[in-house]
Amino acid sequence: MKQSEKDSRCTLRTPRVAQLIERLYEDVQANAAKKEEVFGGMSEKERAEFSSTSPDDYRKAYGRAKELYLAVAPQTAHLLYMQARSMNAHTIVEFGTSFGFSTIHLAAALRDNGGGQVIGTEFEPDKIEQAYANLREAGLEDLVDIREGDALETLARDLPGKVDLVLMDGHKPLYPKVLELLRPKLRQGACLIADNASSNEEYLNRVRAADGDFLSVPYEGDVEISIKL
Ligand SMILES: C[S@@+](CC[C@H](N)C(=O)[O-])C[C@H]1O[C@@H](n2cnc3c(N)ncnc32)[C@H](O)[C@@H]1O
């Protein structure tokens, strides 16, 4: 089989998408020092805003981090693609889009599954603009709707009846609330992938509860994978 035929079975491997992902990941790495600077230079009060459930606080916190290239690790991004492919997902919700690194992987899976939609959500309008520019460059913009605003509002309306897959990657203290919001929409067997999951014990207790409606296991890099029973 020719390489181009193999590529056509996996959008991630097409030169257009593969090169973009490589470049975006270089940007993430180049941003590491800036990240240290921003987080290291925060006062205790500013740090506390990152763990607050008050919208005023967490909006301020992410506003200060709005230029940081935050993204899931490459193996988590691959996991997202693989999971979406293996379950033939068509409806995906992403809590926390940033510049769209994870979104590209999710949308690539939808393309290879024959279509669908990623519903993303993000506070920062500049990040949304950049995420759309990245998705356009990947040729995947038509598969994504990024809703501007707080997920607790943007994901509380107009969601399709059956959600196949969720990426939790926004403000960590909100994971349990976002889970409650999405739970009625999750189809049986729906998958939740939560990054930095250990920062929210309440979320872990919820998805790991022995008598609950999820089955859940930890994965590498502080990621929790759960399915809806
Ligand atoms: C870790 S980054 C997301 C990275 C992205 N998933 C990726 O891998 O490319 C988290 C993003 O979520 C956004 N965010 C955090 N809490 C949010 C909320 N309640 N509603 C909407 N966006 C939120 C932040 O502005 C930030 O850009």
Query: pLDDT for 25-50, tens place per residue?
Result: 999 998 888 888 888 888 888 888 88
Higher pLDDT, 100 or 221: 100
Mean of the per-residue pLDDT values of the chain: 94
Q: How many CA atoms lie within 13 A of 70 on its CB side?
A: 22
State the average pLDDT over residues 167-196: 97
* pLDDT score for 196: 96
State the average pLDDT over residues 62-78: 91
Question: Which residues make beta-bridge pairs with 92?
Answer: 118, 165
State the average pLDDT over residues 171-195: 97
Higher pLDDT, 34 or 149: 149
| Closest listed residue to residue 169, CA positions, set 70, 38, 87, 35 | 70
* pLDDT score for 6: 63
- Pocket residues for ligand 1 (CB within 6 Å)? 62, 70-72, 96-98, 100-102, 121-124, 127, 150-151, 169-171, 174
Taking the C-alpha atoms of residue 106 and residue 108, their distance in angstroms, rounded to an integer, is 5
State the average pLDDT over residues 97-102: 97
* pLDDT score for 5: 63
Q: Phi and psi dihedrals of 60, rounded to 5?
A: -60, -45
Q: Which atom of ligand 1 is nearest to the CA of 98?
A: 27
Beta strands in the chain (DSSP E): 91-95, 117-122, 144-148, 163-168, 186-194, 214-219, 223-228
Ligand 1 site-directed mutation target among 20, 50, 57, 123, most atoms within 8 Å of CB: 123
Q: Which pTM does this prediction carry?
A: 0.96
Whether 123 shows a pLDDT value over 70: the answer reads yes
**% the chain with pLDDT above 70:** 97
* CA of residue 170 to ligand 1 center, whole Å: 4
Q: Which residues contact 195 (CB under 8 A, 6 or more apart)?
A: 72, 76, 167, 168, 169, 221, 222, 223
Question: Which residues make beta-bridge pairs with 228?
Answer: 214
* pLDDT score for 66: 86
Residue 168 · residue 151 · CB < 8 Å: no
* pLDDT score for 1: 65
What confidence tier does 72 reach under pLDDT thresholds 50, 70, 90?
A: very high
Whether 17 shows a pLDDT value over 90: the answer reads yes
Segment among 60-69, 76-85, 212-221 with least mean pLDDT? 60-69
State the average pLDDT over residues 149-158: 97
Q: Specify the 3-state DSSP secondary structure of 153.
A: helix
* CA of residue 94 to ligand 1 center, whole Å: 9
Q: Which atom of ligand 1 is nearest to the CA of 152?
A: 19
* pLDDT score for 68: 87
